[in-house]
Structures are given as structure tokens and as C-alpha cells.
Amino acid sequence: MSSQVRFNGDPAATAATAAELGEAGAELAIVYLPPPYTPAVLEPLATALGQLP
């Protein structure tokens, strides 16, 4: 199963949502970055996602 996770500007909240989906059986989460986000959001988001178990 896969799912989309919408990035709302809070990397920790986005990672928590991805973790919840993983616990529900998702094997793939696609993070949707709605405009006007810039590449600057990627590092904090990657850090938060990288801390997931």
C-alpha cells in the first residue's frame, strides 16, 4: 500500500503522519509539497523523516 502525505510546513508533523501510515501498513509514502515551497524545506523534512524507526 502507498499513500500521499501533505507537507503543511511542519517537518515533525509530516513525519508523524508518515509514521502513522507506516504503522497502518503503508510501504511507501509520497510527500506532496504544495507551492510555493522552495528547496530550503527539503533538509529539515529529510531530517525529520530520517528519524523515523
Least confident segment among 6-10, 23-27, 37-41: 37-41
Residue 53 has pLDDT above 90, yes or no: no
The helix/strand count (H/E) of the chain reads as 2, 2
pLDDT (0 to 100) of residue 42: 94
**Which helix (H) or strand (E) is 49 found in, with range?**
helix 42-50
pLDDT at 25 over 90: yes
Distance, CA of 43 to CA of 49 (rounded, Å): 10
Whether 47 contacts 11, CB under 8 Å: yes
What is the average per-residue pLDDT within 38-49? 94
Query: pLDDT class for 52, splitting at 50, 70, 90?
Result: confident
Mean pLDDT computed over every residue of the chain: 93
